[in-house]
Amino acid sequence: MIALTLAEIAAITDGDLRLVDPDISETTVSGVVDTDSRNMTPGGVFIAKPGAETDGHRFVAAAVTGGASVAVVEHIVDAQVSQVVVKDAVTALADLARAVVARVRAEGQLKIVGITGSNGKTTTKNLLARILEDEGETISPINSYNNEVGAPVTMLRVTDSTRYLVSEFGAAGPGSIAHLAGLVEPDIAIVLMVGMAHAGGFGGIEETARAKAELIAASRPGGTAVLNIDDSRVAAMRDAATAHDMHIVGFGQDGSADVRASDVQVAADGTRAVITTADATLPLHLKVLGAHHITNALAAIAAAGVLGVPLADAIARIETVQVAERWRMQPLGNDRVRIINDAYNASPDSMAAALRTLAQITGPDERTVAVLGAMSELGESAGEEHDRIGLLAVRLNIRRIVVVGPEARRLYLSVVGEGSWDSEAVHLPDQDAAYEYLRTELRDGDRVLVKSSNSVGLRHLGDRLGELFS
């Protein structure tokens, strides 16, 4: 974080400053800002956020031990540290992020990119950050820090020397993207896709589309909207971008895209395509598995182009990326039994893409094995969407389908109903049962996909299988 005095922090957050020493109000701090006491470093600012399972106020002393110079609290805590007492710690965190980014931006160097979409945000963020880090200091979220806490914490990592801030915005509900993006008003707004992920929480896919479009309205007028024109709902955001006085850069495989991909080929060593812009046409070999990640690469290349990065440089840099992120199409295992751990999250779109990738990278003498758990947050569409994935798995001729957990039983019944029987499909109660089954079932030549929503936890099963066959 940039250097701020304790008095400035209190003023920004509309808080009541309680000092351990009356003479230190003008003392500056410039350390990490976080809600996790374990992340504190000397000069840090600890945000004591109340939570459903625990309360950050209980960890103020631990934060001080870690080096925190000040704690932002909702009530005074018995600890030897200066405290800023605020009405709401999360609101104070957001206010602090808004003020810090505004100060850095006023210096004229900082450019801000905002990313949203039902799938692909984290991969796109990582690819774009890899491109931009060779241009100048780049701040981007750790893991998927894209909510009301993670996004501001990422924003507060900017310093006076930061050239690019890449922010990822998830949608907890209507208005959440507008709020988070509004803290920084991105210069570039990337909208990847509108899918069924979290649709249950919005009341349907059209409401989801409206939520994603909030990023356009919250961006800077005169900025650039980078839109996936292969997705009709995203392409329809052109009107909102134009009304907001934004330039438009379209990406996709459609021939009208400003940044487009053709000749997409998926193999076990990654995904290849030909990338075309107004200035050049070049081949891309993306190490990340799956044709769907070409869309994410196009978005990153398009945004980088807006920022002046030539296509050749952008491609050369993202070709060095080996894995999108842990638990996202992460290759594990060995040449005999290959594991693809893609169980950080799952939506109908990402589940279908992962299954297609499994089929595409498996040779004629190899066997496809899909280990599948439930997709969460689909609301009334959950049953229908699990049926659709079961049907797709059978039609892709996935040879072994292992369904894990009671929440995914509908998927298993769909698989059986479509004609998989005689041990081609099994339903197991939990991860441990699945591990014991797979430990003896898997054999040389198997290509194994592990896929579920984060809440199901199959990513840990994927790790165990990867270690078993390492």
- Binding annotation: 117-123
Beta bridge partners, 284, equal: 273
Amino acid at 4: L
Q: What is the DSSP string of 232-255?
A: HHHHTTHHHHHHTT-EEEEEESST
How far is 205 from 182, CA to CA, in rounded Å? 23
DSSP, collapsed to helix, strand or coil, labels residue 260 as: strand
**Please, are residues 353 and 290 in contact by the beta-carbon 8 Å criterion?**
yes
Count of C-beta atoms within a 10 Å radius of residue 48: 25
Burial of 285 (0-12, 13-18, 19+ CB in 10 A): middle
Q: Report the phi/psi class of residue 402: left, alpha or beta, with left for phi > 0 and alpha for psi in -120 to 50.
A: beta
Q: Closest Cα to residue 186, out of 128, 127, 239?
A: 128
Coil/strand/helix, residue 81:
coil
Do the bridges between strand 111-116 and strand 33-34 make them parallel or antiparallel, or are there none, so unpaired? Answer: unpaired
C-alpha dihedral (390, 391, 397, 402), degrees to nearest 10: 10
Q: Which residue type is seen at 435?
A: Y
3-class SS of residue 337: strand
Binding site for ATP: what residues are annotated? Answer: 117-123
Contact call for residues 405 and 373 (beta carbons, < 8 A): yes
> What is the distance, to the nearest Å, from the Cα of residue 356 to the centroid of all Cα atoms in its chain?
21
Range list of H helices, 307-408: 311-318, 348-361, 382-395
Q: What CA–CA distances, in Å, run from 102 to 89, 158, 225? A: 20, 11, 21
Q: Mutual orientation of helices 311-318 and 292-306 as an angle, nearest 10°?
A: 140
Instruction: Please check whether residue 120 is in contact with residue 99, taking contact to mean a CB–CB distance below 8 angstroms.
Output: no
What gap in Å lies between CA 95 and CA 175, rounded to an integer?
17
Position 439, amino acid: R
Of 223, 440, 468, residue with least CA distance to 333: 468
